Amino acid sequence: MKLQRNAFRDYTAEQTLFVRRAMIAFFGILLLSGILVANLYHLQIIRYTDYSTRSNENRIKLVPVAPSRGIIYDRNGTPLALNRTIYQIELVPEKVENLEKTLLALRPVVDLTDEDIVAFEKERKRSRRFTSIPVKTGLNEVQVARFAVNQYAFPGVEVKGYQRRYYPYGSALTHVLGYVSKINDRDVDRLDKEGKWPNYAATHDIGKLGIERYYEDILHGKTGYEEVEVNNRGRVIRQLHEQSPQAGQDIWLTIDLKLQQYIETLLAGSRAAVVVTDPRSGEILAMVSMPSYDPNLFVDGISSKDYNKLLKDPNRPLINRTTQGAYPPASTVKPYIAVSALSAGVINKNTSLFDPGWWQLPGSEKRFRDWKHWGHGHLNVTKSLEESADTFFYQVAYDMGIDRLSEWMGKFGYGHLSGIDLVEETAGNMPTREWKMKRFKKPWYQGDTIPVGIGQGYWTATPVQMNKAMMILINDGIVRTPHLMMANKVNNVTVPWKQPAIPPVADIHSGYWEIAKDGMYGVANRPNGTARKSFSDAPYKIAAKSGTAQVFGLKENETYNAHKISELLRDHKLMTAFAPYDHPRVAVAMILENGGAGPAVGTIMRQILDHIMLGDNNTNLPDAAPVPSGYEGE
């Protein structure tokens, strides 16, 4: 049957409409395709570099690698601070089928405790499943060996080694070396401000005190990097490139370990400080502050119990008495005051004075007593030094006045930092008019000046300052800065420490230096010398100056009796000495707080000098603590 056309439909119009719609759709598709192509061009061509970089950053990670810290040696090459390898067992949860069963099986293998498991679970909750989490730290050799035998039974578990600082001689050098400990928020802020934080990206420890802190920049080294490829979950797929870290520089100190240990044994039980230097170079041969503490306690973080014990110890072991202990320097300063008065023209070598046992302030009834109540009789500068006559130096202080006295003692280093390469140092106090007004809101009186003439009153100083002043005297005014660094190694080249250039004190050819040194020689050798009993029979020549620093003031007619007062109120005993007299190669400054707990200060000084000059050593010295295997610096 033949279909017939519908007379009412306009096929031409429909065809035209279809063509129009098709064209619109075509151009629409073409427009959208053009936009898509344009965007694709923009992304793939124009923004290629940007998105390529972003993609690589998501795919490639830089993993920092910590450098090996430099070793610290004594002057003879004995390692004093080194790096030992500690072992810890780690677990990757993603690779362990049954975590609870694995931890249970590890208990007898590495002596896993409940505390270890609690710490592990705490760490696991804040870590990703594919990261390695420590299970137990500080494995011993037996535990490491036991795990190695059974490692096949523990997929996803492995033992890793890490470097930790170790101080084999414990408390013997704490106040010299200091210690390293965990980086805290204050360290991060400081490093960030100094632009050094990126170099600590892989480092957990930093020098906190002592040499470890002062020379942190050269001991630390330079962080290396591993360039690794990771997937979208952050898991490492492969290593692409490695830039090895640069190890920190090794350091050689001026310290003689055996001398340090010897002095420490002599001071056992005392609150004391000793600084031994070579006056020719300023090298510190020994620097002992007693009591001390074991720096290894701080390396992995000291417990609250141990730290509180140190904080509450009345003997204050945390204080470095050699650089932070501020004491009246007492009569040890009389040789320097003599040189100052001679140089300033206040006295000459023939100036004399009669000492009845006291000195009276002009225009006043105030009397200042001499330690020798019946007096020294006729005095000149040399005899005043030999017998440590207070009255002579009361008069000198009065004639000089506090302004000149403070100025001259400042030239000898008092009231200023010594320049030693330690951060932990106090400048002590060399009193001035301005200081008293600021401190007490009161003017300076003439009576304030008199006790300064014998190293008392408002004057305080550290043992290292006392030693530096003595080196200036020994060297006729040439200044030697006391220092602990002897040399360090840069690219296998030994670089010695250099003395800074400092102008000399007064005229080095004046001859006044010899007068003061001769007075110190008399202290140790002449019949009326205050320390002749300790030194006059020595087979080498010694020069010395003793001192007694009062902890509290006596009333005008009161007599000091050490047996009737508490230990902490007893006088401090001080002594400075150098030897041999003609060509000094050792200078020693010592203080025994409250008189010490053993022999007299002169006896200990003689033992130290004999040990250095004659090699005498009747004391058993402690050996280094046993060092676990896997350490650097042997």
Q: pLDDT, tens digit, for every residue of 303-352?
A: 888 999 999 999 999 999 999 999 999 999 999 999 999 999 999 999 99
> Does 188 share its domain with 293?
no
Mean pLDDT rounded to a whole number for the chain? 88
Do 493 and 356 share a structural domain? Answer: yes
Are residues 95 and 207 both part of a single domain? yes
Q: Tokens 């205050």, residue?
A: 530
d(CA 283, CA 586): 10
Q: Given a cut of 90, is residue 414 above it in pLDDT?
A: yes
Residue 343 to residue 347: CA distance in whole angstroms? 8
Q: Quick check: 492 pLDDT over 50?
A: yes
d(CA 424, CA 275): 15
> Does residue 231 sit within a domain?
yes
16 in a domain, yes or no?
A: no
Give percent above pLDDT 70 in the chain: 90
pLDDT at 252 exceeding the cut of 60: yes
Query: Which amino acid is located at 278 in the chain?
Result: D
**1 or 242: whose pLDDT is higher?**
242
Overall average pLDDT of the 247-255 stretch: 95
Residue 270 DSSP code: S
The stretches of 72-209 forming alpha helices (DSSP H) are 99-110, 114-125, 141-150, 174-177, 185-193
Instruction: Choose the most confident range, by mean pLDDT, from 107-116, 362-371, 438-447.
Output: 438-447
Residues 248 and 104 placed together within one structural domain of the fold: yes
- Whether residues 387 and 470 fall in one domain: yes
Does 278 map to a domain?
Answer: yes
Whether residues 268 and 201 fall in one domain: no
pLDDT at 20 over 70: yes
CA distances from 53 to 63, 311, 326, 608 (A): 18, 53, 60, 67
Contact status, residue 387 vs residue 527, Cβ threshold 8 Å: no
Q: What is the CATH number of the domain that holds 104?
A: 3.90.1310.10
**What's the mean pLDDT in 347-367?**
94
Domain boundary among 253, 277, 310: 253
Band (pLDDT 50/70/90 cuts) for residue 27 is: confident
Distances (CA, A) of 30 to 21, 33, 35, 41, 397: 14, 5, 9, 16, 105
Can 331 be counted among the known catalytic residues?
yes
Q: Which two tokens stand for residue 189?
A: 């802020």
58 within a domain of the structure (yes/no): no
Average pLDDT rounded to a whole number, residues 115-138? 83
- Residue range 174-179: mean pLDDT, rounded: 98
- Position 402 in a domain: yes
Residues 314-352, buried b or exposed e (16+ Cβ, 10 A)? Answer: eebbbbbbbbbbbbbbbbbbbbbbbbbbbbbebbeeebe
E-assigned strands of 396-513?
Answer: 485-490, 493-496
- Examine the pLDDT at 300 and tell me if it is beyond 70: yes
Q: Considering only residues 466 and 232, tell me which one the structure prediction assigns the higher pLDDT.
A: 466
**Catalytically annotated residue among 181, 331, 388, 406:** 331
Is pLDDT above 50 for 630? no
Query: Is 563 inside any structural domain?
Result: yes
Lowest mean pLDDT among 136-150, 358-372, 567-581, 616-630: 616-630
47 has pLDDT over 90: no
The verdict on 439 and 568 lying in the same domain is yes
Q: Please give the residue range of the domain that contains residue 233.
A: 63-253
Q: How many CB atoms lie within 10 A of CB 45?
A: 9
pLDDT at 621 over 50: no
Least confident of 47-51, 197-201, 560-564: 560-564
In a domain, 30, yes or no: no
In a shared domain, residues 458 and 588: yes
Whether residues 409 and 504 fall in one domain: yes
The enclosing H or E element of 149 equals: helix 141-150
- Same domain (yes/no): 247, 280: no
Asked if the structure places residue 14 within a domain, the reply is no
Amino acid 483: pLDDT:
98
Bigger pLDDT: 388 or 9?
A: 388
Overall domain count for the chain: 2
Per-residue pLDDT, 564 = 54
Higher pLDDT, 507 or 549: 507
Q: Clarify whether residues 263 and 243 are in a common domain.
A: no
The answer on 131 and 79 residing in a single domain is yes
Average pLDDT over residues 626-633: 39
Per-residue model confidence (pLDDT) at position 633: 38
